[in-house]
A and B are shown apart, each in its own frame.
Chain A
Amino acid sequence: MHLAWSEIKRNRTRFLLIAFIIALITTLVLFIVALAEGLGSGNIEGLTKLDANLLVFQDKSKLSLAASALPWERLRQVKRVPGVLAAGAVGFSAASIPAGETLSGVALDVAFLGVQPGEPGSPPIVQGRPLRTEREKAAVIDRHTQLRTGLQPGDTLIIRTVQDAKDEYYSLPVVGITDARQFSLRPSVFVPLRTWDAMRPGSKANLESREIVPSFLAVQTDSSISQTEMIRRLTSEVSDVEVVDLKTAWEATPGYKEQQSTLSLQQGFTWLIGLLVVGVFFQIITLQKVGQVGVLKAMGAPAALIVRSALTQIAIVTTSGVLLGALGSFGLALGIPPTVPLSWPLDRLAITLISLLVLGPIGGLISLRILLKVEPLTALGLAK
């Protein structure tokens, strides 16, 4: 311990350098993890946060929210299946908030959803009040929409959809704010289902149809019956549908899997680079010490002492580096606007930090081996 500290104190520069490099690697890895989380959740949180456990899509629509379209009758059919506690129809389309209404001065593309108030699919409220009836001319916006527009409950929302190749503008009072619910990184706007039907983009043909055509159904089932069994029942009782659990649905979100695996790859490679850099550094300083270590061993220093001293140094350097990196990331994160998709879930951060702490000792293993193999005879110039 004393030997370890004395050496670091006398050679401050080089140890600070490696701690700094570890700090940089830490910051980089933490940001990649945060980006993966942020982009990931930004992609799928609309689905992950649904108050349902099964989703019903049009068969052969590849679980695409945009492509799936169900005849109204399906809702009735689903509700009749034993084990179904509740089911809500959800309409999904695209819309945008015009440039003049956003804080950035650029038009904001949003996910435009029609829900049945009180049924699965209808979002919970954190500010204001929820949607009450199916025909209400009211909107609930999510946190992200609020961030980009500055809208509060009581304000008016202007929203634009394309209908029959024409831009149509609608204004609705904002009555409530829900938590962050993005769909494929688009913030969301919720309106009652019939209001949605009247406003949604569409071609002339489907605008003239009388029936509401929801995109998918959010279903809550009895938890005492297994999901597999419920899926089987629904698929057999309801025609032309594909029934999946939430996880399958969000994993099918276009680009999600590729995005996550790319980011995981980046994270892994960065960690590996850190490992190599730390390993090389400790190898170099160890090789420089071989003569000295030989003398210590000739004097009778126990191998345990030498290894303990080296491990202590590695631990000190790694821990301070990771700490520095974590603090640096925290500071940087404070300065980044909330619209950037970064998310910092504590459990993933904890695991990441542990993996970085372990990086030091693993990288230093080779140098430990060098130390163990130094022969005391080198002190007398007799080693091979």
Chain B
Amino acid sequence: MQPILRTNEVTKVYEARGGSVRAVDGVSMSLNRGEFIAIVGPSGSGKTTLLALLAGLLRPTAGSVLIGDQDLAGLSEGERARFRREKIGFTFQANNLVPYLTVRENVELAARLKGRLGPVERRRAVELLDRLGLGERLNALPSQLSGGQQQRVAIARALAHDPLVVLADEPTASLDTERGHQVVQVFRDLVKEQNGAGVIVTHDLRLLRFTDAAIRMVDGRVTDTLRGGENLNVVCEIYESMCGVARRQGQQLLAGAS
């Protein structure tokens, strides 16, 4: 089976005053249809930059990103915008929904951006919202919904135009545990139903429960790739290594104070 998303040693280097920063350093990964993975790591690890590269929002300094056989590097600015609105679904940490559009209009947004909002697209929007338990709130405004409900509307919008790949940046950011996990579960179910692929960037390791696989990044490099049952063990390893780092830092602080 052909992977639906592939990166080949993709690298992003920024020139800063102190020297160059390798935000993403030679990441190779591949994703098949129906797979739902997470990118985890501490802040500054480059996971959001990797997401931007996957979406074609950033041009790699080296390496390539292929989605459904299309090498994103070969596209112009305008073509990449077109690619995003046709083949990619997105949810963001903030500003997900347009505040002056109703729930249903927000989900229809993807179709509007393509310039094609017909009865088929309208029905699909309603179906998705129904599926997500928001069938009663079609004409509500985002400000009238809870955080969890808003996130679900965002998911509906991300999936409404049948994208190849769905990318989510911190989908549980402002949600409590239960609601957060609900949202990710629904996300996964829908992605698998549509036979697309999903990538969520998160710092919440508990979400690994719902994913098929996970890659852990530190300082732009992939340190671990986890599949299936390995997850729980590696989560413990991750926490242990984090503890180790914390212990060392604490010792240094104490040494410096005396």
Query: Is B truly associated with A?
Result: yes
Interface residues of A (CB under 8 A from B): 2-3, 6-7, 9-11, 291-292, 294-303, 305, 376-377, 379-382
Enumerate the 5 nearest inter-chain pairs by beta-carbon distance, A residue then B residue, closest first.
A300-B85, A300-B84, A10-B100, A291-B95, A295-B95
Question: Looking across the interface, which residue of chain B has its beta carbon closest to that of A5?
Answer: B100
Task: Decide if B100 touches A298 in the complex (CB within 8 Å).
Answer: no
Asked if B99 CB lies within 8 Å of chain A CBs, one says yes
CB distance from A260 to the nearest CB of B (A): 47
The interface residues of chain B lying within 8 Å CB-to-CB of A377 are 52, 57-58
In the complex with contacts A300-B113, A302-B113, A379-B92 CB distance below 8 A? yes
In the complex with contacts A377-B57, A380-B57, A380-B92, A299-B51 CB distance below 8 A? no
- Given known contacts A291-B95, A379-B90, what 20 new A-B pairs fall within 8 Å (CB)? A3-B98, A3-B112, A10-B99, A10-B141, A11-B100, A292-B95, A292-B98, A294-B95, A295-B95, A298-B55, A298-B92, A300-B82, A300-B86, A300-B88, A300-B113, A302-B113, A303-B81, A380-B93, A381-B48, A382-B58
CB-contacts of B18-60 with A (<8 A): 48-49, 51-52, 55, 57-58
Q: Which of B48, B98, B105, B169 has the most CB of A within 10 A?
A: B98
CB-contacts of B103-123 with A (<8 A): 105, 109-110, 112-113
Task: Decide if B83 touches A300 in the complex (CB within 8 Å).
Answer: yes
In the complex with contacts A6-B101, A6-B105, A305-B113, A295-B83 CB distance below 8 A? no
**A3 vs B98: C-alpha distance in the bound complex, in angstroms?**
9
Task: Decide if A299 touches B95 in the complex (CB within 8 Å).
Answer: no
Interface pairs (21), CB distance under 8 Å = A6-B98, A10-B99, A291-B95, A294-B95, A296-B113, A298-B55, A298-B90, A299-B84, A300-B84, A300-B86, A300-B113, A301-B85, A301-B113, A302-B78, A302-B81, A380-B48, A380-B93, A380-B169, A382-B48, A382-B57, A382-B58
Task: Decide if A299 touches B101 in the complex (CB within 8 Å).
Answer: no
Asked if B94 CB lies within 8 Å of chain A CBs, one says yes
Q: Tell which of B52, B85, B99, B141 touches A299, judged by Cβ atoms closer than 8 Å.
A: B85
Asked if B231 CB lies within 8 Å of chain A CBs, one says no
CB distance from B218 to the nearest CB of A (A): 18
Asked if B96 CB lies within 8 Å of chain A CBs, one says yes
**A298 vs B80: C-alpha distance in the bound complex, in angstroms?**
10
The interface residues of chain B lying within 8 Å CB-to-CB of A380 are 48, 51-52, 57, 92-93, 169
Task: Decide if B90 touches A299 in the complex (CB within 8 Å).
Answer: yes
Question: Looking across the interface, which residue of chain B has its beta carbon closest to that of A9?
Answer: B100
Question: Looking across the interface, which residue of chain A has its beta carbon closest to that of B84?
Answer: A300
**A300 vs B100: C-alpha distance in the bound complex, in angstroms?**
19
Q: Tell which of A6, A302, A305 touches B100, judged by Cβ atoms closer than 8 Å.
A: A6
The interface residues of chain B lying within 8 Å CB-to-CB of A10 are 99-100, 141
The interface residues of chain A lying within 8 Å CB-to-CB of B55 are 298
CB distance from B112 to the nearest CB of A (A): 7
**A302 vs B110: C-alpha distance in the bound complex, in angstroms?**
12
**A291 vs B92: C-alpha distance in the bound complex, in angstroms?**
11
The interface residues of chain A lying within 8 Å CB-to-CB of B88 are 300
**A284 vs B143: C-alpha distance in the bound complex, in angstroms?**
22
**A188 vs B100: C-alpha distance in the bound complex, in angstroms?**
63
Task: Decide if B78 touches A299 in the complex (CB within 8 Å).
Answer: no
Question: Looking across the interface, which residue of chain A has its beta carbon closest to that of B93?
Answer: A381
**A9 vs B105: C-alpha distance in the bound complex, in angstroms?**
14
**A322 vs B82: C-alpha distance in the bound complex, in angstroms?**
38
Task: Decide if B94 touches A291 in the complex (CB within 8 Å).
Answer: yes
In the complex with contacts A291-B94, A292-B98, A379-B92, A302-B82 CB distance below 8 A? yes
**A76 vs B46: C-alpha distance in the bound complex, in angstroms?**
101
Task: Decide if B85 touches A376 in the complex (CB within 8 Å).
Answer: no
**A200 vs B141: C-alpha distance in the bound complex, in angstroms?**
81
The interface residues of chain B lying within 8 Å CB-to-CB of A9 are 100
